[in-house]
Amino acid sequence: MKKLVITLLIALTATLAPGRASDETVKRDDLITHVESCEAILQEFMGRPETAIPASVLARARAIVITNQFKAGFLIGVQDGYGVILVKKASGRWSVPVLIKAGAASLGFQLGATSVETVFVITDDQTPRLMFNNRFNVGVDAKAVAGPHASEKEDDNHAIINAPVLVYMKNSGLYAGATLRAGYLARNDPANRLLYNTAYVMPELLYSDWVSPIPEVQPLMNLVQRLAP
């Protein structure tokens, strides 16, 4: 029985792999909506003390990832979704938001469906580059811990905020510093080519100034720049 469950889990994870044929049907308006929803997610996180990311954490941010996943299933839960990543450049300015894929597979009795919104604060310059190899497994390829919130005393705990990846999930029930695995993040070059009308891909979009921000992504860039100048 155990082998069967593991086999099913692997098969489900494979269906979430980057580059599925359904990506070809995505329209540019959909991608703009994805960016706007990620901005809304960050705004909502920061609007309440119990979910807000402390200034001491944001001051260390070298990259910020915002994801929106959709979770459904019975016994075997499946998550699939989208997100964006922004990196802080040497100049202190933040990059354009680059579209990514986000997914996970987990065991447990899960009825119905729900949206899973997550913000990842990355505190070093090396971890974001792990996505250049197409897929980054959070908590496996780099240590990830639950981040402290503005309402908690742990917001100045350097043992926590120095972790490579701090994870913020709504209603996660995790105490600050808890080690966790939070699925995978993967580059989505076709979506970015469509959104920015460019042949450049993730590395150039994040770390060069070769692509100018389009008006639709400027509000998210302004928000991140204000939160983590």
pLDDT band at 16 (very low <50, low <70, confident <90, very high): very low
SS3 124: coil
Average pLDDT of the chain to the nearest whole number: 82
Residue 58 backbone zone (phi > 0: left; psi -120 to 50: alpha; other: beta): alpha
Segment 130-139 mean pLDDT: 87
The domain of 49 spans 2-227
Higher pLDDT pick, 23 / 206? 206
Would the pLDDT of 106 be above 60? no
pLDDT (0 to 100) of residue 147: 87
Segment 70-86 mean pLDDT: 74
Best mean pLDDT range from 5-19, 76-90, 106-120: 76-90
pLDDT in tens, 146-156: 888 876 655 45
**Nearest CA among 4, 3, 165, 20 for reference residue 85:** 165
pLDDT in tens, 87-101: 999 999 999 999 999
SS3 160: helix
Which DSSP string corresponds to 47-107?
TSTTTPPPHHHHTT-SEEEEEEEEEE-SSEEEEEEEEEEEEB-TTSPBPPPEEEEEEEEEE
Assess contact for 170 and 71: CB atoms under 8 A: no
pLDDT (0 to 100) of residue 202: 96
Best mean pLDDT range from 51-55, 160-164, 173-177, 216-220: 216-220
Would the pLDDT of 4 be above 50? no
Distance CA 202, CA 129 (A): 9
What's this model's pTM, rounded to 2 decimal places?
A: 0.82
Would the pLDDT of 142 be above 50? yes
Domain count, the chain: 1
Distance CA 82, CA 134 (A): 14
